[in-house]
A and B are shown apart, each in its own frame.
Chain A
Amino acid sequence: MVSVINTVDTSHEDMIHDAQMDYYGTRLATCSSDRSVKIFDVRNGGQILIADLRGHEGPVWQVAWAHPMYGNILASCSYDRKVIIWREENGTWEKSHEHAGHDSSVNSVCWAPHDYGLILACGSSDGAISLLTYTGEGQWEVKKINNAHTIGCNAVSWAPAVVPGSLIDHPSGQKPNYIKRFASGGCDNLIKLEEEDGQWKEEQKLEAHSDWVRDVAWAPSIGLPTSTIASCSQDGRVFIWTCDDASSNTWSPKLLHKFNDVVWHVSWSITANILAVSGGDNKVTLWKESVDGQWVCISDVNKGQGSVSASVTEGQQNEQ
């Protein structure tokens, strides 16, 4: 079942472009073409406007919450070519940093796994991806990957910090040697995997889409050795990319579905077993992988409501 537990009237004056809950699922951040970013307290079905953040001079495309261990921090990106990092201090939200390093619309922001520190990846229509790293005392260091995607990067998504296959924690005091990686998708129809090895470099190019890649989402790690990325495109296709063997680093795509309209957004559930797909026909669908490896639509969500078909679950049960 998909049932509405809270309908938030955002009072935005124009299109909403993104809505994201914080780490705990108690606060909602929204952004809109009306150039504002709003934060609501949505605990217990309520909706209390905590902040109405003004500072962008164009439509705001995306918002991203940082991990709460760094405090209450929200990043937003806009058509005005800026990224703004907002921070709550003593109960008030204020602009903490403004990054104006792009020459065109900044379309996507994504915080790195908290294990790496406070790092924000920003993808822009100028084709570049910039990485902001907090170095303390209000300072941010900027690294830029130029020409990552010709005529524009539409989405960035970090790989989880967990070294695949390690279900059990490392002994305390010993820091595992993470490799920072993220995926990006752009107007060159490509998904690129960038990796930091001293400096950022393109590690892989994933080609399957025949039109702009609108969104990429790296699935959260659930302790399995497989890495998974979902991508969606203007061409209506959604692909699930998997890499079973980290050493060989070969990714194979599987077509989840071809929709009749552009697919704008893909989002994994926290347990990485359900994918929410949002399409240009204003349709939201939920997908799940069945035991035989096929992706099955389990729900059509309309205005936050929908039923869940039990076929997948039952199928699995019968298997057992």
Chain B
Amino acid sequence: MKLKEVDRTAMQAWSPAQNHPIYLATGTSAQQLDATFSTNASLEIFELDLSDPSLDMKSCATFSSSHRYHKLIWGPYKMDSKGDVSGVLIAGGENGNIILYDPSKIIAGDKEVVIAQNDKHTGPVRALDVNIFQTNLVASGANESEIYIWDLNNFATPMTPGAKTQPPEDISCIAWNRQVQHILASASPSGRATVWDLRKNEPIIKVSDHSNRMHCSGLAWHPDVATQMVLASEDDRLPVIQMWDLRFASSPLRVLENHARGILAIAWSMADPELLLSCGKDAKILCSNPNTGEVLYELPTNTQWCFDIQWCPRNPAVLSAASFDGRISVYSIMGGSTDGLRQKQVDKLSSSFGNLDPFGTGQPLPPLQIPQQTAQHSIVLPLKKPPKWIRRPVGASFSFGGKLVTFENVRMPSHQGAEQQQQQHHVFISQVVTEKEFLSRSDQLQQAVQSQGFINYCQKKIDASQTEFEKNVWSFLKVNFEDDSRGKYLELLGYRKEDLGKKHIKEEKEESEFLPSSGGTFNISVSGDIDGLITQALLTGNFESAVDLCLHDNRMADAIILAIAGGQELLARTQKKYFAKSQSKITRLITAVVMKNWKEIVESCDLKNWREALAAVLTYAKPDEFSALCDLLGTRLENEGDSLLQTQACLCYICAGNVEKLVACWTKAQDGSHPLSLQDLIEKVVILRKAVQLTQAMDTSTVGVLLAAKMSQYANLLAAQGSIAAALAFLPDNTNQPNIMQLRDRLCRAQGEPVAGHESPKIPYEKQQLPKGRPGPVAGHHQMPRVQTQQYYPHGENPPPPGFIMHGNVNPNAAGQLPTSPGHMHTQVPPYPQPQRPQNGWNDPPALNRVPKKKKMPENFMPPVPITSPIMNPLGDPQSQMLQQQPSAPVPLSSQSSFPQPHLPGGQPFHGVQQPLGQTGMPPSFSKPNIEGAPGAPIGNTFQHVQSLPTKKITKKPIPDEHLILKTTFEDLIQRCLSSATDPQTKRKLDDASKRLEFLYDKLREQTLSPTITSGLHNIARSIETRNYSEGLTMHTHIVSTSNFSETSAFMPVLKVVLTQANKLGV
């Protein structure tokens, strides 16, 4: 494909490979006679700018010369890598002169551009070449067998390579060997080529065939093989290129006969030894493989002869050709479309006035063709074989899991093709591990979690802490796992209970010594003074008046003492009045203590006293408000405090067990981008979550957005270090965030576990537990099998015999675990076959049957509901007790499953069994699994759904009537969404949401939600009624932003999902 053209009849020289940008120098050809018969000559330099799509070449400089040239070369002599233009232009003139030009000066527009000049040669200098090893050495050839070697450092006195060859002849070509620096070859039109050894200063070999028809117009050494060279002949009777190997100099190794008429010039690519350019009097430019003789490419040229052809040294795909029609064209051999290139107008003009005999040589020109049509075929195909320089020999690419895929092709000299076949083509897959410390710390964390050795772990961390703050944080975390955590917190804050107690006791003792003896008598005065009045009031039992009188007289102690006797109400009032009057520093503290108004302390204490505030909360706050208060304090520290206090907020959040806020606070303070600082955070978070899980018996499976982001970032880092299993273990479960679900899927598959269906967010089981005939894509949801068990009874059909269903492929894990006798199922069968989680999957929700080890907060714990049916359920029945103490609810499920329908009493609502989950809109609740045939099953209890809550409660209170509307509204909405949702992913989401809303219903049952939240929820419900979901979402946002995170986190995100879906589906 033609890239550029210049209208000159000129010799050409590309700038050396080191030069950037690429220049092309042209010097008026000595053979040229243009239409004006002008004898002017010039040296010009053009820049090859490939980003310019036009055909024009940018002219950089023109120097008017008194010489015309037979040969022009551009050597890299004294070139520094930085300079834009450098090296030296060496020109061979008409009268035996060699002129050295400084190209940088030409470009600069300097007048003095000639470095040196020497006219030692006889006749025109047609041959020039620069030694590529010693760029100061230039060889030149002229008439009379003259060959000189010029040292550019000492230009005045040239050397000769040896005695002149006889008979004297013109030297048409000269070339330095490409491998051995002291070897030079010359050739003449007579057809002889001579190889010189400069060390021996004599010709070492003469190459010539015996046809006497080789008129050498071109000579080139093999770029790689030192002993091989090609000779081109311009004789029309023998238009060939001969390839010689000096080791077998008797005849050519190969003869390329691709031209129909004499060859005028050749050029061997330095970038690919399989590419040899040749142009001839047949007006062709060919690119052939001299090693095989095959023509790889024919340039789509014009119809003119080219007398000079050059590869661009820097850009191996580019070549230039000078033609007798007065034009230098720059081509690419990579083919391509010329559609985008605009044709030059002058093109057509000059070809219309074609020069018939521009050189006056009498040589016939090929017949002039009709002026070229611009509608030339626009698509130019590339070389038949790919050039060496586009064959990528090496590559290294990263892939998932910190793997690096590398391959390398050992360079083999091309002539050893046979051996190359033997080469093995290997690809290496390597594991790259760069963060060793990060991995080992992650490993320690995992071990601590698996072995439950939290205290040890925290202790180690405390010992290793480098800063006080770090130490504090770990100390606080450690306390979570110890008995009397609150006391220990206090100690950490600097308040030792025992110390205080001792102090106090001491003081008491001292005081008691000074107590007046109580043995004496006393006088009851009823005088009119204040004492008398009080006495009167007391005597009449009028405590209120007595207290008032005391207060009035500022006898506070008396007032309080009396108020205590006067009962709670009076005491309270008295306290209030006291506080109103009292002004002491600690009054507010006392007020708070007495009034149990901790919020006041936390909200209004000076932040410098945050430790004291936290201590007070730790000492006094009730379990149910404890977290919220710590939270509040933390929030204040974070929002109002200086940078030091802000970090201290972390401690409050640790006390509060508020993982999400800890993450937020920590992230703000630290640079989380480095693996180790992320590790710092994750260690704390993981330990805190464990603590919360153990101490507060809370379900920590729900993960906040920020934490989820951090955890997945962490998992990504682990994965990038090749720790796929660890990454899986840390990745939050039970989240709907698509990026996390995708990462989980990717990790599972990377481990080599096949997963059915790409989008499945959860991986059901470990591979080894998967039966071969595993059901299809549904298995992608780990909760599905259990649900399906209930669906398994076809509606209205005879259910299969008890026990049978479990052996189906629905729940493969159940097989073998279940006794076949249905009578025993509810007593002996484990609650429900648990899908075996991976051992290290400790991030999952706590297993159903695990009782939290320590329950510091029995307040959270619902006592068992009294047994309401003693007749069916004798109190002493060990079975029923066992059942009731089962920490998880699944037993009824499995027992139900095993009861065929006919056993059920008519009219019992049993929709959980009969209807597929998708239509109930909520998990089958088994609201009244009144199973008369099952002695031992409690009657009238409401069983919560198995998979939604892996909790410890057995029974549930009914939802208060006024809130029942919430449940029905939300469930109805989910139903509507489900019926209009089409894709399975949305359905799964909705199913999941329906289950998770149980959290909300539970809170409603327990009436633990604050009135603002419930009223907000009612607002949402109303907006759902009116189908105004965006309003609902706004209210949602309002609730979330104003409420306590830990109170709403279990259900608000799910509610949002439902609302968003409803909005999207437009139900």
Interface residues of A (CB under 8 A from B): 1-26, 28, 30, 32-33, 42-44, 58-59, 61, 68-69, 79, 81, 103-105, 107, 124-128, 146-147, 150-152, 154, 167-169, 171-173, 187-190, 205, 210-212, 223-224, 235, 264-265, 267-271, 274, 276-280, 282-284, 286, 288, 298-299, 301, 303-306, 308, 310, 313, 316-317, 320
Contact = CB atoms under 8 A, between A and B. Distances in A.
Nearest to A72: B758
A316 B720 CA distance: 18
B133 interface: no
Contacts of B758: 68-69
A21 B399 CA distance: 6
Contacts of B677: 320
B393 interface: yes
B752 A187 contact: no
B392 A2 contact: no
A105 B390 contact: yes
B337 A313 contact: no
Interface string B475-486: 000000000000
B720 to A, nearest CB: 4
A169 B318 CA distance: 49
A103 B433 contact: no
A130 B301 CA distance: 28
Contacts of B340: 127, 146-147
B391 interface: yes
Interface in B382-434: 382, 386, 390-411, 421, 424-434
Given A15-B409, A211-B314, A282-B393, A104 B431 contact: no
Contacts of B401: 25
Nearest to A154: B390
Given A10-B425, A79-B386, A210-B20, A126 B394 contact: no
Contacts of A8: 426-429
Q: Which 9 A-B pairs have the closest CB atoms?
A: A304-B428, A21-B399, A126-B336, A210-B20, A150-B50, A6-B429, A24-B749, A104-B335, A25-B400
Centre residue among B21, B411, B427 by max chain A CB count within 10 A: B427
A104 B334 contact: yes
Nearest to B53: A147
7 contacts: A23-B400, A24-B749, A33-B391, A69-B758, A124-B336, A154-B390, A169-B738
A305 B430 contact: yes
A167 to B, nearest CB: 6
B674 A125 contact: no
B428 A265 contact: no
A255 B677 CA distance: 28
Contacts of B332: 151-152
B432 A310 contact: no
A255 to B, nearest CB: 14
Contacts of A59: 386, 391
Interface residues of B, number: 86
Contacts of B20: 210-211, 235
Given A128-B337, A173-B1061, A282-B410, A274 B717 contact: no
A320 B676 contact: yes
Centre residue among A15, A267, A277 by max chain B CB count within 10 A: A15
Secondary structure of the A contact surface, majority rule: loop
Contact of A10 (B410, B421, B427, B720): B427
Centre residue among B403, B677, B1061 by max chain A CB count within 10 A: B403
Contacts of A20: 397, 399, 405
Secondary structure of the B contact surface, majority rule: mixed
Given A10-B425, A278-B406, A168 B709 contact: yes
Interface in B331-351: 332, 334-337, 339-340
A10 B713 CA distance: 35
B398 A274 contact: yes
Contacts of B31: none
Given A3-B430, A173-B1061, A61 B50 contact: no
A124 B432 CA distance: 32
Contact of A17 (B51, B395, B410, B720): B395
B3 A150 contact: yes
A4 B408 CA distance: 14
B1057 interface: yes
B437 interface: yes
A24 B427 contact: no
Contact of A6 (B390, B428, B746, B1061): B428
B409 A301 contact: no
Given A58-B386, A147-B340, A279-B394, 11 more contacts: A2-B430, A8-B428, A16-B425, A21-B400, A24-B749, A68-B758, A104-B336, A126-B335, A264-B393, A270-B716, A277-B396
Nearest to B716: A271
Contacts of A19: 395, 397, 405-407, 427
B705 interface: yes
A55 B336 CA distance: 22
Contacts of A154: 390
Contacts of B403: 5, 21, 25
Contacts of A43: 752
B60 to A, nearest CB: 17
Contact of B676 (A30, A171, A317): A317
B436 interface: yes
B22 to A, nearest CB: 10
A26 B751 CA distance: 8
B1061 to A, nearest CB: 7
Contacts of A150: 3, 50-51, 53
Contacts of A103: 335-337, 379-382
A316 B430 CA distance: 25
Interface in B685-730: 705-706, 709, 713, 716-717, 719-720
B1063 interface: yes
A116 B109 CA distance: 54
A103 B332 CA distance: 13
Contacts of A61: 390, 392
B336 A313 contact: no
Contact of A4 (B379, B410, B429, B1063): B429
B336 A265 contact: no
Contacts of B752: 26, 43-44
Contacts of A280: 393-394
A12 B425 CA distance: 6
Nearest to B333: A151
Contact of A267 (B53, B391, B396, B706): B396
Given A24-B749, A313-B434, A11 B425 contact: yes
B385 to A, nearest CB: 8
Contacts of B959: none
A248 to B, nearest CB: 23
Interface in B864-884: none
Interface string B210-247: 00000000000000000000000000000000000000
A162 B21 CA distance: 37
A151 B393 contact: no
Centre residue among B393, B403, B410, B428 by max chain A CB count within 10 A: B428
Centre residue among B335, B406, B720 by max chain A CB count within 10 A: B406
B463 interface: no
Nearest to B341: A147
Contacts of B739: 169
B1064 interface: yes
Interface in B312-358: 314-315, 317-318, 332, 334-337, 339-340
B317 A187 contact: yes
Contacts of A21: 397, 399-400, 403, 405, 429
Given A24-B400, A127-B337, A150-B51, A265 B395 contact: yes
A310 B394 contact: no
Contacts of B317: 125, 151-152, 187
Given A19-B427, A271-B716, A274-B398, A308 B433 contact: yes
A3 B434 CA distance: 11
Contacts of B421: 13
